[in-house]
Structure 1
C-alpha cells in the first residue's frame, strides 16, 4: 500500500511543469556587410527575464523602426518565455561600424550581449544608368556674400514604383531658410534611361561669414517588387500630391526598404566689402531698380501731395527700411506704412516694396524735392550701387485760409521729416435754421402694431427647415454616381474635344491626348485612374479580353505621346493632326 502511494506521488511530481530560470540575452543581425542605401535587422532576445534593454550606446546607426514580441516554449515539461526586440537600423556613415554591447538589468545583475561589427561600403552599383532610384543635392552658389540668397535643390530620380516615401532635409544651421511652396515634377533621360524627377527647393540666406556645412538630406522609401496580378497602376500614381506624398495601396507585392543620402555640402560665405559711399547701407543684398513719382506738382499751401518710392527686384527686400526724404524748409514729410508684394520662387525672393510719403507745404513758393537715394549691394556686379530718383518739382499756390469763414490752423514744428499729423483746416459752426428731423412732443406719434398670428409664426419657423431638407435630397439624387465606365468614357471624349481646339500649346495638346487614351483604357475595364505605363495597359486590356492588334496600337500610341511629352520635341501641324486622328481611332475602338 505504501509503495503504491509513493508511486502516485512520483507520477504527479513528474507532471508538474518545471520552470527554468536560465536568464540570458543575445543579439543577432541579418547581415554584417552592407551599403549606405541598405538597412539591417537587429534582433535582441531576452529569455526568462521580464526586463527592458538599454540600447542608448548605439551611435553609428539610426533606428528606422522597432517592434517587440513575446514567445512561450514548453519542452519536456519545462516552460520558458522569450521577449524579442526587433530593430531596423540604417548606417550613419561608411566604414567599420559597431553595434555595442546591449545591456539589461535583472534582479541586481547586469547582462550584456557581445559587440557586433558591421562593414558599410559605397553602393556597389556604379553608374547612374544602372540605378533605379538615386538622390542629389546642390546649391546655386558655393561662394555667396553674407545676406545673399542662394537656392538649395534636392532632386529625387526614380523609374520604379515606390511607396511610404519620407524626406528629411538638413537643419541649415547658419542660414535663414525658407522652403519654396511648390515642388517641381519633370522627366529626364540619363544615358538612355528615362527617370521621373522630383525637386524640392529651399531658399538660403547666410547670416555669418566663413564655411557653413550642410549635412546630407535623407530620403527613405519602400521599393515595390511586383508579383503577378491582374491590376497594376502607374508607378507614379498619386505619388506627389500635397502636402508632400500620398501612399498608394499595393496588393500582391513585396516591399524592399531603401534609404538614400545626398552628399554633404559646404558653402563659404564671403563678407561684404567696405561701403565706399557716404550714404548709409540699406541692408539690401540683391539686384533691384528704384523708381519714384509724385501724384501732382501744383497744389495750394496746406494741401498734401503723395510721393511714391518703389524698390523692385530680387533679394532680401523685406529688410529694406524706408529711404530718407530730405524735404526743403517749408515742406513737412509724413511717412506712411510701406506695402510689400514679395513672393518666393525657384530662384528666391522677388517682388517690390512701396514707400509712400505725404508732403505738405506750409507756405507758397516753388520747391525742389532732392533725389531719394538707395545704397545697396548688387550681387551681379559684386559691388555697392547708388540708385537715385530725379528731383521732384513742387509749385505751391497760396491757400484759401480765411475765405468763407475758414481759418487755417497749422501744426508747429520745423520743416523736414515729421511724425506729427498734417495741418487741419477748421471751419466755424454755421446756423442752418432747422433740426435734422422734427421733434415729437405728444403721444400721437406712438402707434401699436398688431401682433403676428401664432400659426403664421410656426409656418415661418418650420418652412425654411423643410425647404432645406427637400433641396438637400434633390442634390443628393442629382449627384448619384455614374458607372465608372461611363465616367471614364466621358473624360476621354472631353479630352479629345479639348485637344482639337486651336491655339492650345504643345504641352496642353499632348496632355489631353494622354488623358484621353488612359481614360479610354480604364473605361474598357470599368476602373478609374489617371496614369498608366505601357506594361500596365497591356495587362489591363489583356485581362479584359481586348484583341491583340488593338493592344499593340494603344501601346505604340502611348509611347509616341510620351516621347513627345518628355523628349522635348515640338509637334507641328501635320504631326498634331496625325496624333489626334490616331488617338481618336484607338479611343473609339476601346470604348465602343
Structure 2
C-alpha cells in the first residue's frame, strides 16, 4: 500500500510532466550561432569577411565585430533565409562585416568571441595573406568615430574665470529617401544621416543616442507599408561630399518601405540632441578650455508620392519588383508514375514576402505536391533583394510533354519599365512509359515532403471523439486509484 501511495504522489505526476519539460528544453536549445571567417588568401583589392550565422531565434542584440590590426571596417550586410516545409517555418540570419586591408603582407587574427543574443561564440582566429592587386584604386584610410575630447580639472589652485564662446558648426541632420515617387508595392529606401565636417568633431558629440533613437523611429514609422529594417547596430562615419565640400556622414537609421496603398508617405521633421562644447575665448593651458552644452538639430520634413498601378485584371495581387525566373529540375529522364522535383525561383529586387505563386492549374494525368517555399533575403548597400523558391513534386500518369508553361505562371509589375510581365517556365519535360491510372511511388530519400513515418502511417479513420473518450476513462481510472489509496491509508491507521 505504501508503494501505491508513493507511486500516485511522486512517480505518476513526474511521469505526466516529463514531456512538457522536454519540450521546453528543446525549444530553448533550438537557437544556434556560429562564426565564419572569409578566405585566408586574397588580393588587396578584395575584402576579408567575418560573418555570424543565427538559427532558430530572432536577432535581439549582438556585440561588435572585432577590430583587426592592419584592416579597416568597410560596411556590413545581412541575409535572411526563410524555409517553409510541411507548414513548418525555419529561418537563418547571416550578418557579414567586410574588412579592407591597408597594405599587403601577412596578418594574424587573434582568437576572439562574440555575444549573439545570449549565446557566446568563439573563433580560433587564423593567419591572413594579402597579395598584390591587379587593378583598382587603393582603399582610402579610415576616419575615426565621432568622439569628444576628455578634460581634467585644474590640479592645484582655484581655476581662473573663463569667457566661453560658441563656435559655428556646419553639421546638419537629414532624412534621405532614394525616390520621390513610387508605385504601390515598390520599395523606397530611407536613411537618417547626421553630417558634420572634420573641424566639427572637436566640438560635437553624441548625447544619449540609445535613448533618443526609439522615439525618432516611432515618428518615422508609416502605418501603410511593409517594412524591412537593416540589422545595423554600429554607427561609424563614412566620407562623403556634399555641395563640393567633404563631410563625415553617420547613418543613424535605415529601412526599406513597400507601400500597401496609394496613401502618401509623410515623414515629419525629427530632432536629435547633441553635445556641443563652447570654447574658451582666451585658452589657458592650465585650465579647462571647453564647457559642455547642448544643441538640437532638426531634419526637414519629407513626402514620398505613391502612384497606383496601371489597370490590370490582377492589379491587386501582382508583386512589384525587378524579377527574373530561374528554373531547376532534378533529373533528365522522366517515366510515368515516377515523381520528379521542379523548382520555380523568383530572383531580383523587391518585396519577396509579397511573392506568392498561384497553385498549378489542374490537368488530367498530372499530380502536383507542395510546394516547399525557401526565401533568401539580402539587405546590403541600401538594397533589399534575393530569391524565393517554390519546389514541387510532379507525377505524370500519361506519356507526353508536361506543359509547365501553361500550368505555372506569375504576373509581376516592373516599376522601372512601368509594365506587367509574366514569368513562365521554359522547361518542358518529355515523359515516357505506359499510361498509369493509379500511381504509387516511393518517396525520395532527401525529399522533405515524404518521410518514412508518412509511408508507414496508419490511415484508418478514427472517431472524432476518440481522444475525448480516452481522457474521460483516464480520469475515471485516476479517481479509482485515489479512492483505493485513501481506503488503504485509512485501513493502515486502524491497524496501528
TM range (shorter): 0.3 to 0.5
Structure of greater relative contact order (alpha carbons < 8 Å, 6+ residues apart): 2
Q: Which has the larger radius of gyration?
A: 1
**TM-score where L is the length of structure 2:** 0.47
Tell me the TM-score normalized by structure 1: 0.40
Relative to its length, the structure with more helix (as a share) is 1
